[in-house]
Amino acid sequence: MFKNRSYVFGIGTGIIIGALLLQIMSVRASAPGQAGIALDEMDPQKLKVEAAKYYQVFDKNTKVFTQSELDAAVLKKVKEETDKLAAAKPQDQPKANTPEVTPKIVIYVQPNLDATAVSELLVKSGIITDRKAFITELDKQGGSTKIQIGYHVFEGVTDIPKVVTNLITVQ
């Protein structure tokens, strides 16, 4: 009757065996598990340990702050401390003249950095504010290829020609 009788017989047998295996697996999955402990059987300490594997666990009495509440508390404490400092400082004494310290900025120029990368480094460190002016001054002094590798120290506010001179001189 069928040309591929053994083929159809094989498919039927496979479907029957697959259905039996599926039934066996579903019966086993619904059986009570022996490996894990049910939540009802755990004491609070074991339950806390198991939950801590996947979540942050806090005691009921522990106060948990939101970010805005934490910020408000920190600002309150800072204000209290500044008030204490202001009250503790004698108001009648004049301020002593302290010499102003010029900030030193140290940058490291890595090998194979071009003028654009160095200008970006200088802008990020706050030494210069205008990249194009720096690059034109560097070209004017012929230092685009003469930038020295290594550490360069800049003290206080410096103008662009001094920055370029510092970068192209050997230190």
* CA nearest neighbour of 163 among 120, 128, 126: 128
Long-range contacts at 124-129 (CB < 8 A, ≥ 24 apart):
127/154, 127/158, 127/163, 128/160, 128/163
Cα-based distances in Å from 61 to 27, 57, 74? 44, 12, 21
163 and 154 Cβ atoms separated by less than 8 Å:
yes
CB atoms within 10 A of CB 143: 18
- Whole-prediction pTM: 0.42
Q: Which position has the token pair 């001054």?
A: 137
154 and 127 Cβ atoms separated by less than 8 Å:
yes
Q: Looking at residue 99, what is its pLDDT?
A: 65
Q: Pick the residue with more confidence: 88 or 133?
A: 133
Three-point CA angle 101, 106, 109, nearest 5°: 160
Q: Looking at residue 37, what is its pLDDT?
A: 64
Q: Looking at residue 71, what is its pLDDT?
A: 92
Tell me the per-residue pLDDT of 57-109, one tens digit each, with 9 for 90 and over.
888 888 888 899 999 999 999 999 998 888 877 654 555 566 677 788 889 98
8-state DSSP, 54: T
And the tokens for 6? Answer: 């053994």
**Type of residue at 122:** L
Q: Give residues with Cβ within 8 angstroms of 141, minimum separation 6.
A: 161, 164, 165, 168
Mean pLDDT throughout 14-28?
92
